[in-house]
Structure 1
Amino acid sequence: MLAPERHELILRSLRRHGRLRVADLVAELGVSAITVRRDLAELDSAGLLRRVHGGALGTSPVGSDGPGSGLTIGIVVPSAATYYSDVIRGAEAMADRYGARLVLGVSGYDVATERERIDKVLGIGVAGLLISTALGDGDAGRLDNRLDEIDVPVVLMERAFSFPHVEREIDYVRTDHMFGAMIALRHFVSLGHRRIAISLAPTVTAYWLRSGVESAAKALDVDVYLSGTELPMRGDDPGGIAQLDAFLDECRSFRLKAVLVHSDEHGARLVERALDRGMRVPEDLAVIAYNDVTAALAVVPLTAIRPDRRALGETACDLLLRRLQAPHAPTQHLSLLPTLSIRTSCGTADRALEPARTRL
């Protein structure tokens, strides 16, 4: 178990019990007493708890009257797996930090289910709501007035809805995926590539990636080929080999040796098939994936654009808690910049570029 995971469990247990004993944490976490004491020392230094002899006591960095003390807030997301699992963990960690309780609803990217989940979460009596809608920004025209009808403070995650699609401006925190496309193409250019193939899965993220690719291509003066071939995510996808071969044939026909693929799973399958066909990665085909959830686990570790999903959940939850404390503060639209993790699929050693920043 990694240290951040242990820290989350320690803080969660502290919220339940109010006081923790080192011996109990050793049994619960399955680690040594030395490790537990080190974890408690780190959390104490961060102001998240107070170490005492033999254990720790709860505290709040903003005091007992902090914005989340004793509150319940809701979070509704399209999925609790892969991308959004880190978002949820980030929001939960921030809620724990401020003494709030988080209640989860999952829509499965279905608008009708989403309405039910929102109603159910609101019915619990939450003080505020974090939501990533089933509809993405490209489908803003299909929004009804559901968001405007919510009578508690709302912070959108990975969505940037604004007037005229909503009557009132709503706080939001999103990843700047256009910037992600820019740093991917910029890295290809630094490696000498001037002709780049683009494969985008039909997801809500593709809306911003497509715009980012177009802007980056103009700024960098490179040629891009946006493929219409949909790549398979899994080996058991019907017709998967044919789709991969069709895309690789497109790359060969247009002399394209650099590929930006959304997402990791599609990129991993593409690399596997390229190797099966006798191609070398990255010499014959350099690949950058988007999301960096499983990119490092590909047969050839994939260079990838990494949105900071945990930071997104933390930032959104923090914004909501502060909104509850100051209801009339100015609305905030925040963008988090993704980073580039460079791995073997582009031919260089592991390192990270573009440290995460927040853009207002």
Structure 2
Amino acid sequence: MLAPERHELILRSLRRHGRLRVAELAGELGVSAITVRRDLAELDQAGLLRRVHGGAVGTVGPAPISGGQSSQLTIGIVVPNSTFYYTDVIRGAEAMADRYGARLVLGVSGYDVAVEAERLEKVLGIGVAGLLLSTALGDGRAAELGGWLDDIDVPVVLMERAFGFPDVTGEFDHVRTDHAYGAALALRHLVSLGHRRIGINLSASVTSYWLLKGIEQAASRLGIETFVSPVLLPAHGEDPATLAQLDAFLAECESFGAHAVLVHSDEPAARLVERAMERGLRVPEDLAVIAYNDETAAMAVVPLTAVSPPKLMLGEMACELLLRKIRAAPGRPAATQHLNLLPELRIRASCGALVTGQAGVHAG
């Protein structure tokens, strides 16, 4: 069967059923799923239908979810959580979607791969035109993808993730923070203050994968010594176990001769400062501290110098990139883009801030 014949049958079936599925079409036409996907892509580019996860729908737009207009463009956004770090990412994406007259449908995975699969199925199943995705799988776990990312049939822009060949067949657009640069930014600042030995404490997170890379590279280039502690710092608590963890890291710093630390993220860094002061240490004179994330760093007992990822801008740029891909002219697809956004260092009292009454003299 020639392509024009298949296209006519596909459009006829779409008019009859309102929605098509790749697997059913492949069986009905007696061709492979790959051939069906190619046909749907060609018809989508011609404006005759709109591809969605697993198949296609008509061009009038997805059905409303909760009272919206049926013609309004709908975009899916699936993230590990909707609080702290991702609050601003979601806000940025929502603001950009609003500028384009589109709406977002949110799915939250809780960093659980199985839950993420369910959320993706639900979000894609309503017929979204595209997907913003920050998967529960971090870049260090790319081998676990198993090709499922390639099976998504709508444009995808990854946020804070960078998956490519050989873990996926094609290249995906992504917008991410250059966390390796952020780690280097922190170490460079501490070195400028005279520190040559620096303690590192990282939470068990996706971000830590890139922070470690940045720390290794920066330490080599700056000619300094660092140690990465295995101690998991608590964000709060006064029980003996919590205090023991804080004390253990402080003891490691003392043994290593480190009077400066980089801690991911804000809450453990703030609790470390409190414990250090309880033990008679001065911050930043005896212990200079830089936090990573800058969500609550400014509200610590001693306001924390912090590396601040551009979370709001990340959401805005990812959403704009996706919308441009969706609205690209048929036959002229938008180029794939890999965008790295640089975080900034916000200097406060925990190291590098001007000492009151001593202009030109820096603490920490």
TM-score category by the smaller chain? 0.7 to 0.9
Query: For residues 107 and 136 of structure 2, what CA distance do their matches in structure 1 show?
Result: 12
TM-score (structure 2 length as normaliser): 0.76
Q: Which aligned pairs between 1:27-42 and structure 2 lie closer than 5 A?
A: none
1:345 to 342, 345, 350: 350
Runs of 4+ in 1 over 3 A off after TM superposition: none
Identity %: 68
**Whole-Å Cα distance in 1 between the matches of residues 238 and 251 of structure 2?**
21
**Which segments of 5 or more consecutive residues in structure 1 lack a partner in the other structure?**
1-68, 351-360
The gaps in structure 2 that reach 5 residues or longer are 1-70, 356-364
The aligned residue for residue 302 of structure 1 is 304
Alpha-carbon shift at residue 70 of structure 1 (Å): 2.7
Show CA shifts across 1:213-271 (max 9, x none). 00000111111111111111121677110000000001111110010000001100100
Instruction: Please give the alpha-carbon distance, in whole angstroms, between the structure 2 residues aligned to 1:143 and 1:222.
Output: 37
Shift of 1:329: 2.1
Q: What letter is aligned with 1:222?
A: I
C-alpha displacement at 1:144, in angstroms? 2.1
- One-letter code aligned to 2:351: C
1:163 and 1:169 in contact (8 A); partners too: yes
CA distance in 1, matches of 2:98, 2:180: 32
Q: CA deviation at 1:149?
A: 0.7
Distance 2:279 2:310 in 1: 34
* TM-score between both structures, scaled by the size of structure 1: 0.77
Deviations 1:37-69 (A, max 9, x none): xxxxxxxxxxxxxxxxxxxxxxxxxxxxxxxx8
- Give the SS at the match of 1:265: helix
CA distance in 2, matches of 1:223, 1:293: 28
Task: Say if 1:156 and 1:238 are closer, same or farther in 2 by CA, change over 3 A.
Answer: farther
C-alpha separation in 1, matches of 2:316 and 2:178:
16
Task: Choose which of 323, 326, 334 in structure 1 pairs with 2:325.
Answer: 323
Larger Rg: 2
Q: Distance in 2 between matches of 1:99 and 1:312?
A: 19
1:120 is aligned, of 119, 122, 129, to 122
The 1:238/1:127 distance shift into structure 2, 3 A limit, reads: farther
**Partner residue, 1:96:** 98
Asked if structure 1 preserves the Cα contact closer than 8 Å seen for 2:193 and 2:352, the reply is: no
Contact 1:342-1:349 at 8 Å conserved across structures: no
What SS does the aligned partner of 2:350 have? helix
Distance 1:278 1:236, change over 3 A: closer
Give the aligned partner of residue 336 of structure 1. 341
C-alpha distance in structure 2 between counterparts of 1:160 and 1:98, whole Å: 26
Aligned to 2:242: 240
What is aligned with 1:216?
A: 218
Q: What is the rounded CA distance, in whole Å, between the counterparts of 1:166 and 1:320 in structure 2? A: 19
CA distance in 2, matches of 1:311, 1:157: 11
Letter in 2 for 1:229: V
Alpha-carbon deviation of 1:315? 0.4
